[in-house]
Structure 1
Amino acid sequence: MNTEVSYNHTQTEIIQLLLQLGLTSGGSFAIWRKPKSKKLEMVLDETASPQKVALSLEELPPGFIVHPFADQEDKKAYYIKANRYFSFELDQEFKPEDLPEWAKIQLEDQQKLNDAELRKLLFDQTINNKIITSGISEDKSHFLQLVERGIEAVKENKLEKVVPARTKTIDIPEDFNLACTLLSLMNSYPNALINFFHIPHLGTWMGASPEVLIETKGDIFYTMSLAGTQKATGDNPLKSVAWTQKEIEEQALVSRYIVSCFKKIRLREYEEHGPKTVVAGDLLHLKTDFRIDMEATGFPELGSIMLNLLHPTSAVCGMPRKEAHDFLQEYEDFDRSFYAGFLGPVNVQGQTSVFVNLRTAALFSNKAVLYSGAGVTEDSVPEKEWEETEYKCEIIGKFIQNPTA
């Protein structure tokens, strides 16, 4: 590609250029935009085989971490090292000469791919992804039965809460444009981590996660409890919202679990703010924020410590954690893969931001698998939990099938 040629580089074209860089590299890459940010970032590792790392975040070089819901036998996560890094502000003008030197070198012998060529390149690279689906995870009657089992387990005091999940497979339209889809998600969900990652032969995923698992910047550690879900309605949904006892208790369970993790490590000095109602696209959630000064409390490795204690959170698994996890392993009957795992940039520009992988879709060939779950307590109504998973699936699904949704 001749980088001297003058293009009208719209935001979509810039994202397409980054996707071309990643998909033609033969390696792994991730593209993301953090909540309340205008900066789009990319890391690229040209290594053909996926890298795995121990969960000692403070010791890792800059990169992007991806961990499935289930623990790995080796206790490691997949890692896309930032051998190449690039970022730009979405609200600023971009010119080809603004590309880093490594990108110019990689693109100099390539033609700029059009929409159809990029789509074919994407589908060709996702056809062998290890996306494990089963008919049972799509079946409504199975999910309703799963919710019933969960309610029964809570009533019998075996569980306080459990979060069953399901999948929904949709066709990717012939005119699908990944760059448009990602940009539309960024515009529609300013308070979410908009992310896309590709690890050859393992997975290609995109999502819009509203839930921080752990975040560290300087000496400050941050986490949140996010639970309770309802559709945002009316012109001012924050003023008209009303939460049921079931939703309030569901969110309180998550907050109590975070506090119990602090107690386990004898950490007593923390700030707690909330719960308050927050908007995540078309949905409302209850959120409580927790902040800790790692230097003042003597916990410089709090990010790694809390990552191990929190995952999987009660918001995606249940409580007590072990019993809820065992329940799901026995009755859920499908592999969640990276759904409800965690992902995000680590030690990039002096900050680590790891999110729970929610509102997400796995791409393979010309189909997308959507994932969603619902928190079940004794007050749950199976049909309403199904409806909740439907509109959670729609968050990503509608943008895949209609990028301007």
Structure 2
Amino acid sequence: MNLTETITSITQEETIKSLVFHGLQSGGAFALWRKPKTQTIEFILDENQETHRIGLTLEELPAGFVVHPFADQEDKKAFFIQASQYFKFNLEEPISAEELPVWLQSSISQLDGSTEKVEKLLRVRSVGSTKTPIQGSSKESFIQLVDQGIEAISSGILEKIVPARTKVLDLPKGFDLGKTILKLIQSYPNSFVNFFHIPQVGTWMGASPEVLIETKGDFFYTMALAGTQAAQGDNPLKAAAWTQKEIEEQALVCRYIVDCFKKIRLREYEEHGPKTVLAGNLLHLRTDFKVNMKATGFPQLGSVMLDLLHPTSAVCGMPRKAAHEFLQENESFDRSFFAGFFGPVNIESETSIYVNLRTANFQENQVILFAGAGVTEDSDPEKEWEETEMKCEIIGKFIKHPSA
């Protein structure tokens, strides 16, 4: 396999559609993604149709794509899509069909522009990926969960909790997956837009704004992302006004990362922020952290920090153990891969792992949306519900209205 293979005329939408068709038709696990602030679409397929689960020593893994659920696994292993086939192309460059790999040319020929073939395969492959059907969360039940969280914080058990909810949509007849993925890519340039499928495990699509860990050459990166408000006006970044509740929520996530550095006695790091950032139609507060792994003598910092950070306080709460136990006891559904982590590993000397947010799970004839809200002592349950509605809409509007 040549990991530097690229292409430089079929349309971008047809190429994406053909890649997804190729993956679904193969019977194996595959992933397609676009990293934030890039124009490069990447695709990998694992030709071995057995499901792989691996330990998380990232530096020792072959090129591939890792997927880990929210809940810790007893054996600390994650699902892994090994790159038997790898392909990438740039959205800003013309695509010459004759320069495509033979397997992709074959898929394009079989597909012949058909949306129906992809839709049928999507529904078939999404059958049986969860043991228990997930129901949509009612407003009443979510507000009750938020109230329970506020009570636990007031009593001193927790500092912060991040309850989540679900929303169920019907998968529309004639759903065009290729067009929808392209629309997500165009609409969310600052997010990790992704689609992945692991047979009998799950089929997911999303646009995550949050890096968990990233390694490029000698450098390690992570971020603290918390606080949410709707983007408003012609210049939403300048118009943003943050409440004390949101500022404190973001500070908790920063402190959590710094505490992880202290645990491994890492003192040399750069911290930049917090600053207001745009993710779709939402604003967040973000602080970036950077470490020179060579200068600090931490060549395996990516794996070490991945283990320490997940699940972060931004998706779970603080203290982490107590927050995790609260969610396990009080949430009425299995988060599965929502608020877990995923991303490409050791592809062209880079590893980029993201928190699985702004995401949707395909279930044959339905799509399950997931969203959470950071709850502190000053939270208003009604506003937390509204926040989850906004977050669900980031992906949901493209399911309900693919041409949105």
Q: Same fold (TM over 0.5)?
A: yes
Aligned to 1:117: 117
Aligned to 2:275: 276
Aligned to 2:184: 185
The separation in 2 between residues aligned to 1:296 and 1:131, in whole angstroms, is: 47
1:274-332 alpha-carbon deviations (Å, 9 max, x no partner): 00000001000000000000000000000000000000000000000001001111111
Aligned to 1:340: 339
Offset of 1:100 from its aligned partner?
A: 2.1
Q: Which amino acid aligns with 1:96?
A: A
The separation in 1 between residues aligned to 2:293 and 2:367, in whole angstroms, is: 41
Count of matched residue pairs: 396
The separation in 2 between residues aligned to 1:130 and 1:28, in whole angstroms, is: 16
Offset of 1:112 from its aligned partner?
A: 2.9
Aligned to 1:91: 92
TM-score, structure 1 length as denominator?
A: 0.96
TM-score, structure 2 length as denominator?
A: 0.96
8 Å CA contact retained: 1:225, 1:289: yes
1:186-214 alpha-carbon deviations (Å, 9 max, x no partner): 11100000000001111000000000000
Offset of 1:109 from its aligned partner?
A: 8.0
Aligned to 2:220: 221
Please show how residues 70-85 of structure 1 align to structure 2 within 5 Å. 70-85=71-86
The separation in 1 between residues aligned to 2:23 and 2:283, in whole angstroms, is: 34
Q: Which amino acid aligns with 1:124?
A: V
8 Å CA contact retained: 2:191, 2:209: yes
8 Å CA contact retained: 1:84, 1:102: no
Aligned to 1:325: 324
Please show how residues 173-252 of structure 1 align to structure 2 within 5 Å. 173-252=172-251
Offset of 1:132 from its aligned partner?
A: 3.9
8 Å CA contact retained: 2:134, 2:368: no
Q: Which amino acid aligns with 1:395?
A: I
Offset of 1:101 from its aligned partner?
A: 3.8
Aligned to 1:4: none
Aligned to 2:50: 49
1:308–1:16 distance in 2 versus 1, CA, 3 Å: same
Aligned to 2:363: 364
Offset of 1:350 from its aligned partner?
A: 0.8
8 Å CA contact retained: 1:132, 1:337: no
Please state whether the residue corresponding to 2:26 is helix, strand or coil. coil
Please state whether the residue corresponding to 1:32 is helix, strand or coil. strand
The separation in 1 between residues aligned to 2:291 and 2:361, in whole angstroms, is: 34
8 Å CA contact retained: 1:218, 1:351: yes
The separation in 2 between residues aligned to 1:301 and 1:73, in whole angstroms, is: 22
The separation in 1 between residues aligned to 2:386 and 2:111, in whole angstroms, is: 46
Please state whether the residue corresponding to 1:272 is helix, strand or coil. strand
The separation in 2 between residues aligned to 1:322 and 1:349, in whole angstroms, is: 36
Please state whether the residue corresponding to 1:138 is helix, strand or coil. coil
Offset of 1:176 from its aligned partner?
A: 1.0
Deviates more, 1:114-123 or 1:285-294: 114-123
1:151 aligns with 2:170: no
1:301 aligns with 2:300: yes
Aligned to 1:266: 265
Aligned to 1:127: 127
Q: Which amino acid aligns with 1:230?
A: Q
Offset of 1:129 from its aligned partner?
A: 1.7
Offset of 1:117 from its aligned partner?
A: 1.5
Offset of 1:404 from its aligned partner?
A: 2.3
The separation in 1 between residues aligned to 2:328 and 2:363, in whole angstroms, is: 25
Please state whether the residue corresponding to 1:226 is helix, strand or coil. strand
1:206-239 alpha-carbon deviations (Å, 9 max, x no partner): 0000000000000000000000000001111011
Offset of 1:131 from its aligned partner?
A: 6.2
Aligned to 2:69: 68
Please show how residues 368-379 of structure 1 align to structure 2 within 5 Å. 368-379=367-378
Aligned to 2:27: 26
The separation in 2 between residues aligned to 1:190 and 1:131, in whole angstroms, is: 34
8 Å CA contact retained: 1:133, 1:335: no
Aligned to 1:380: 379
Superposition RMSD on alpha carbons, in Å? 1.3
Please state whether the residue corresponding to 1:149 is helix, strand or coil. helix
The separation in 2 between residues aligned to 1:112 and 1:173, in whole angstroms, is: 22
The separation in 1 between residues aligned to 2:395 and 2:227, in whole angstroms, is: 19
The separation in 2 between residues aligned to 1:278 and 1:365, in whole angstroms, is: 35
Give structure 2 stretches of 5+ with no counterpart: 1-8
Deviates more, 1:48-57 or 1:353-362: 48-57
Aligned to 2:5: none
Q: Which amino acid aligns with 1:20?
A: F
The separation in 1 between residues aligned to 2:131 and 2:211, in whole angstroms, is: 25
Offset of 1:337 from its aligned partner?
A: 0.3
Deviates more, 1:218-227 or 1:116-125: 116-125
Please state whether the residue corresponding to 1:336 is helix, strand or coil. coil
The separation in 1 between residues aligned to 2:155 and 2:349, in whole angstroms, is: 47
Offset of 1:86 from its aligned partner?
A: 0.2
